Chains A and B, each alone.
Chain A
Amino acid sequence: MATLPSVKNILVLDSEGKRVAVKYYTDDWPSVSSKLAFEKSVFTKTMKINARNEADIVMFDGHIVIFKFIQDLHFFVTGGDDENELILASVLQGFFDAVGTILRNNVEKRTALENLDLIYLCLDEVVDGGMILETDASVIADKVSSASGLEAMAPFSEQTLSQAFAVAREHFARSLLK
């Protein structure tokens, strides 16, 4: 039977490999200890790799893990070893960019923990029970922000012109710095 592209887990770990936010979708790791063991091995296998500009990939124990790092945060998306790598990469990219938008490009452990509710919502909007729900970062961020509960904050799609301009300027600046 042809299978649906599926995600086994999404992990956000800190620079010591500790959990910031994780979400498992399959029974590949039935116990807490097996989950932690997987996180440890994935962290040690990837910590020396410079995955800050482009997402990188590693394959072990029958899993494909796509990962990208920023500041002191390590993002991982795991799939089966017969999965299309680029689909998994698009999930990671969508999640990663959405978190960036939500945290106003100030992505680091401290802000992530301070806004942990938003990170959880973000995880919830990317993948549902292993099935890819959305990969477009701006759509994900919109969904999260529209429900973030701060009355003062407008959804991203309804930003005023000056706000939009500010965001655009920042994006432009970033692309120059690359």
Chain B
Amino acid sequence: MAQPMLKKDDDRDDEVDYHPFFGIEKGAVLQEARVFNDPQIDPRRCSQVITKVLYILNQGDTLTQIEGTEVFFSVTKLFQSKDPGLRRMMYLMIKELSPSAGEVIMVTSSLMKDMNSKTDMYRANAIRVLSRIIDGTILAQIERYLKQAIVDKNPVVASAALVSGIHLLQTSPEVVKRWSNEVQEAVQSRASLVQFHALALLYQIRQHDRLAVTKLVTSLTKGSVRSPLAQCLLIRYASQVIRESGANQAGERPHFDYLESCLRHKAEMVILEAARAITELSGVTSRELTPAITVLQLFLSSSKPVLRFAAVRTLNKVAMTHPLAVTNCNIDMESLISDSNRSIATLAITTLLKTGNESSVDRLMKQITNFMADIADEFKIVVVDAIRSLCLKFPLKYRSLMNFLSNILREEGGFEYKKAIVDSIVTLIRDIPEAKEIGLFHLCEFIEDCEFTYLSTQILHLMGNEGPRTSDPSKYIRYVYNRVILENATVRAAAVSTLAKFGALVDSLKPRIFVLLRRCLFDSDDEVRDRATLYLKVLGGEAVVGETEKETNEFLFGSFDIPLVNLEASLKNYEPSETPFDISSVPREVRSQPLAEKKAAGKKPTGPTGPTSGPVVSAIDAYEKSLSSIPEFAAFGKLFKSSAPVELTEAETEYAVSVVKHIYDGHVILQFNCSNTIPEQLLENVTVLIDASEAEDFAEVYTKPLRSLPYDSPGQTFVAFEKPDGVPAVGKFSNILKFIVKEVDPASGEVEEDGVEDEYQLEELEVTYADYMLKVPVSNFRNAWESMDPESERVDEYGLGARESLAEAVNAVISILGMHPCEGTEVVANNSRSHTCLLSGVFIGNVKVLVRLSFGISGPKEVAMKLAVRSDDPDVSDRIHEIVASG
């Protein structure tokens, strides 16, 4: 080469080590930085020192504030030098130091001079540096230059100004919005990057004006955009317009033609962007999908891994909603299974598993087996999940899929991976009756050599429930008892419970189980011995768990449906005393977020020391404690449910009031949380006057006033109503806050003697059916559903009318019923036309209720719903229907 670019470094000879920055040290470099202050500036030496400082920062070291300021000031001295290379390094340094406002003033004038320099490179970089460090006032001074720069004929300068505009839009939007005309001119620039930056800025200026965005997209899609990057942006903006407008009357989408034309663009990034935009259109039809799928299919056989990845990732997503549209690509997909990029291979496999048909399953499994050995655990989990859903889709293929799962179960793998496999097998056992026995058998084999206690106990539990009901229960006993001999205490204890379950259900095995359990009495672990003793007594009929065999079984097999968090909180609160801990006193309501403690704690210092110990204490616990400490409410019995607080005032009014509805069997207590936001006032004798004329079933029985409500210290007043026992009465209440106002001198805190009576209108509140429903999850909806009496089932169909979307309809019904959505069924997949939602809850009177909702949406967004209810009490099932019918 003519001119070697390697620097002829003066101190090169000293640094024989091949690393030029070896042993570099911050203190020494900062010493060196004094060279910036020399009256005779040596540009090359200064550049080197700046590089060293940048290197230190880049390696993750930081400068203290003093060090930073010092370096910054000495760097500003270098503006005297005219050396272009040094100037560039100074720009970098200033950006890296992100100076404080006071320091910025030191450099603005120099930078503004550079901004008007004849050298393009100075102009562009000075703009970028300035926009990074200035505030609004300086921006006003340089605005004129920035506007000019946007339409500068040098693309580098224009881009620098536009990008700075995008950054500045975050901090000073009103200034940047004034540049609209210049930006619009820049959109027509011949330089491709300028066009891209201008379009981005123009959109961001107008993004809150839907009409303007639509206009922008309409005019530009006609074809003046040349830059591929700008084209990608335009596609994003166009699909946003499509999203917001929906299909028009003719069912034609606006701008769809534009998206389709982009599929023929010569830049691959544009094609990809357009294809992806099409696949993500809501309610996309297969006719619309086809051209996009075709180009993606071509990408699948590209030599570039990035392109293959992008294509297979997009197709994988499409396969979730439109598996049929992707089947054409299956052959290309299969060749990707051996792709050297494992991400691509995994995505290809999971796509194939989603789109494959029954006949191809066996072939696929063979290919995957070879593949599984050399991928990482995280990919294996993805594959296992895909196989599980495939098996649920083709139950007849359970044999080969189950075999596959058991084979990979035997191979090496981490906990997460093994857990995914075991979970899959468990799901298959649950959902495919034929697969039960071979599945259980595979699991038995697995626990013979399983290093994970968690998985062993989980499997033992499952075997206890399922094993006794198989054709030959005795063959499992060996595996279970081996655990008692070989494993750690936790697994041994689980195995003892499993043995007991076999003994309880299979009479022929009972004597043998007794022998085994008796051996467990000599175990070294307390828990194992205790369990063995307990089960021996129970099975032998000596202990009084229940009189009948049914109750024994309930004791052994009954599900534990109390949330563990609540149990833990209750146990923590329990003080050892005469009365034993009562498990039925544990609240069943699941609280997603524990309510702020102070709401409940700020009152009633007379009560027992409130549950202030830990954040795990649920709100209902706190409520129950505080309510039961009020003598008038003590006789109401057990608190069934407390609602979340509902605001009865607008935000930032004089008095803030929210209400919590406490539901009892025969009463409802309304707790008004009041706070006074006026420092000059003290409120006394605060009550809420309630007009219950629109709530016929309610009779007011007691009002507990709030004696005084000083500024900024919230308090509560209560109103109790009687209602028919166990009946979910509903109604509307209108409320007026009544109180005596006393003036307070905020400076001295002195209160005037005389007060004035006053009142304050609050918003209405409603007691709805949802208030009588507790959100109680069930762990396995299907099992719970089947264990309920089919006689109690009530089915009916409803038309919900036109709705925004299926998801909106589902959420509306869930909130009317106030029940807990199970198994994540509250989430509606995008674009789906039908949805099934599973809900569970406990209705007042402790009646367990399960609901199965099937939704369907028709073309003009009409939603229909089928509602099936099972509950412990057929009347309640009817009631649920009434609720929905009236809602």
Interface residues of A (CB under 8 A from B): 1-5, 19, 21-22, 32, 35-36, 49-51, 54-60, 66, 84-87, 89-90, 102-104, 110-111, 113-117, 120-121, 124, 128-129, 131-136, 139, 143, 146-150, 152-153, 160, 162-163, 166
A139 → chain B closest CB, angstroms: 8
- Please judge, given known A-B contacts A114-B20, A149-B86, whether A2 and B229 are in contact too, CB under 8 Å: no
A147 touches B84 (CB 8 A): yes
In this complex, what residue of B is CB-closest to A129?
Answer: B167
B273 touches A21 (CB 8 A): no
A72 → chain B closest CB, angstroms: 11
- Top 4 A-B pairs, shortest CB-CB distance: A149-B85, A86-B269, A2-B236, A147-B88
A115 touches B7 (CB 8 A): yes
A86 touches B2 (CB 8 A): no
Partner of B233 from the list A5, A120, A129, A166 (CB cut-off 8 Å) is A5
A114 touches B92 (CB 8 A): no
- Please judge, given known A-B contacts A2-B239, A84-B232, whether A104 and B1 are in contact too, CB under 8 Å: yes
Most chain B beta carbons < 10 A, residue from A57, A85, A132, A163: A85
In this complex, what residue of B is CB-closest to A159?
Answer: B2
B370: interface (CB < 8 Å): no
In this complex, what residue of A is CB-closest to B299?
Answer: A86
- Please judge, given known A-B contacts A84-B276, A146-B84, A147-B87, whether A152 and B3 are in contact too, CB under 8 Å: yes
B9 contact set on A, CB distance < 8 A: 114
A66 contact set on B, CB distance < 8 A: 306
- Please judge, given known A-B contacts A58-B343, A120-B51, A134-B159, whether A5 and B229 are in contact too, CB under 8 Å: yes
A86 touches B20 (CB 8 A): no
A63 → chain B closest CB, angstroms: 12
B237 contact set on A, CB distance < 8 A: 2
State in angstroms the CA–CA spacing of A102 and B340 once bound together: 32
B789 → chain A closest CB, angstroms: 46
A22 touches B200 (CB 8 A): no
State in angstroms the CA–CA spacing of A16 and B276 once bound together: 37
Partner of A22 from the list B50, B58, B87 (CB cut-off 8 Å) is B58
B649: interface (CB < 8 Å): no
Inter-chain pairs besides A2-B237, A54-B306, 13 sampled, C-beta below 8 Å:
A32-B62, A56-B341, A85-B272, A86-B306, A103-B5, A111-B6, A114-B20, A115-B5, A117-B85, A128-B128, A149-B43, A149-B83, A166-B1
State in angstroms the CA–CA spacing of A81 and B121 once bound together: 34
B310: interface (CB < 8 Å): yes
State in angstroms the CA–CA spacing of A50 and B85 once bound together: 36
A85 touches B2 (CB 8 A): no
B304 touches A133 (CB 8 A): no
State in angstroms the CA–CA spacing of A87 and B231 once bound together: 11
B27 contact set on A, CB distance < 8 A: none
A150 touches B5 (CB 8 A): yes
Interface residues of B in 317-371 (CB under 8 A from A): 340-341, 343
B92 → chain A closest CB, angstroms: 6
B21 contact set on A, CB distance < 8 A: 113, 116
B55: interface (CB < 8 Å): yes
A109 → chain B closest CB, angstroms: 8
Partner of A55 from the list B88, B163, B305, B340 (CB cut-off 8 Å) is B305
B4: interface (CB < 8 Å): yes
B19: interface (CB < 8 Å): yes
A162 → chain B closest CB, angstroms: 7
State in angstroms the CA–CA spacing of A100 and B219 once bound together: 40
Partner of B310 from the list A85, A124, A136, A143 (CB cut-off 8 Å) is A85
**Main SS of chain A's interface residues?**
mixed
A84 touches B20 (CB 8 A): no
Partner of A59 from the list B83, B236, B343 (CB cut-off 8 Å) is B343
In this complex, what residue of B is CB-closest to A160?
Answer: B2
B279 → chain A closest CB, angstroms: 13
Partner of B5 from the list A89, A102, A129 (CB cut-off 8 Å) is A102
B84 contact set on A, CB distance < 8 A: 146-147, 149
A4 touches B268 (CB 8 A): no
A3 contact set on B, CB distance < 8 A: 236
Interface residues of B (CB under 8 A from A): 1-7, 9, 18-21, 43-44, 47-48, 50-51, 54-55, 58-60, 62, 83-89, 92, 95, 121, 128, 132, 156, 159, 163, 166-167, 193, 196-197, 200, 203-204, 207, 229, 232-233, 236-237, 239-240, 268-269, 272-273, 276, 303-307, 309-310, 313, 340-341, 343, 378
B19 touches A113 (CB 8 A): yes
- Please judge, given known A-B contacts A35-B60, A148-B85, whether A1 and B207 are in contact too, CB under 8 Å: yes
B307 touches A114 (CB 8 A): no
- Please judge, given known A-B contacts A55-B306, A90-B269, whether A117 and B51 are in contact too, CB under 8 Å: yes
B274 → chain A closest CB, angstroms: 10
B121 touches A5 (CB 8 A): no
State in angstroms the CA–CA spacing of A11 and B159 once bound together: 24
B2 contact set on A, CB distance < 8 A: 160, 162-163, 166
B85 contact set on A, CB distance < 8 A: 117, 147-150
A47 → chain B closest CB, angstroms: 13
A129 contact set on B, CB distance < 8 A: 132, 163, 167
State in angstroms the CA–CA spacing of A2 and B200 once bound together: 10
Could you write out 28 A-B pairs with CB less than 8 Å apart?
A19-B59, A32-B62, A49-B341, A54-B305, A55-B305, A57-B305, A85-B272, A85-B313, A87-B232, A87-B273, A89-B269, A90-B269, A110-B19, A110-B20, A111-B6, A117-B48, A121-B89, A121-B92, A124-B92, A129-B163, A132-B229, A136-B193, A147-B84, A147-B88, A148-B5, A149-B84, A163-B2, A166-B2
A84 contact set on B, CB distance < 8 A: 232, 269, 272-273, 276, 310
A57 touches B229 (CB 8 A): no
A153 touches B3 (CB 8 A): yes
A36 touches B54 (CB 8 A): no
- Please judge, given known A-B contacts A87-B269, A120-B92, whether A21 and B87 are in contact too, CB under 8 Å: no
A50 contact set on B, CB distance < 8 A: 340
State in angstroms the CA–CA spacing of A162 and B193 once bound together: 30
In this complex, what residue of A is CB-closest to B308?
Answer: A57
State in angstroms the CA–CA spacing of A139 and B159 once bound together: 13
State in angstroms the CA–CA spacing of A133 and B340 once bound together: 32
Most chain B beta carbons < 10 A, residue from A22, A102, A113, A166: A113
State in angstroms the CA–CA spacing of A99 and B84 once bound together: 20
- Please judge, given known A-B contacts A120-B51, A132-B229, A153-B3, whether A54 and B92 are in contact too, CB under 8 Å: no
- Please judge, given known A-B contacts A2-B203, A35-B60, A166-B2, whether A57 and B306 are in contact too, CB under 8 Å: yes
In this complex, what residue of B is CB-closest to A152?
Answer: B3
In this complex, what residue of A is CB-closest to B267?
Answer: A86
Partner of A57 from the list B83, B95, B203, B341 (CB cut-off 8 Å) is B341
State in angstroms the CA–CA spacing of A134 and B128 once bound together: 14
A116 contact set on B, CB distance < 8 A: 20-21, 51, 54-55
A147 contact set on B, CB distance < 8 A: 84-85, 87-88, 121
State in angstroms the CA–CA spacing of A160 and B273 once bound together: 40
A1 contact set on B, CB distance < 8 A: 207, 240
B773 → chain A closest CB, angstroms: 37
A56 contact set on B, CB distance < 8 A: 305-306, 341
B280 → chain A closest CB, angstroms: 10
In this complex, what residue of A is CB-closest to B89?
Answer: A117
A32 touches B5 (CB 8 A): no
A148 contact set on B, CB distance < 8 A: 5, 85
B781 → chain A closest CB, angstroms: 30
A4 touches B200 (CB 8 A): yes
B132 contact set on A, CB distance < 8 A: 129
A54 touches B304 (CB 8 A): yes
B717 → chain A closest CB, angstroms: 45
In this complex, what residue of B is CB-closest to A66?
Answer: B306
A57 touches B51 (CB 8 A): no
B3 contact set on A, CB distance < 8 A: 150, 152-153
In this complex, what residue of B is CB-closest to A53?
Answer: B303
B307 touches A86 (CB 8 A): yes
State in angstroms the CA–CA spacing of A166 and B4 once bound together: 13
In this complex, what residue of B is CB-closest to A58?
Answer: B343
A51 contact set on B, CB distance < 8 A: 305
B186 → chain A closest CB, angstroms: 15
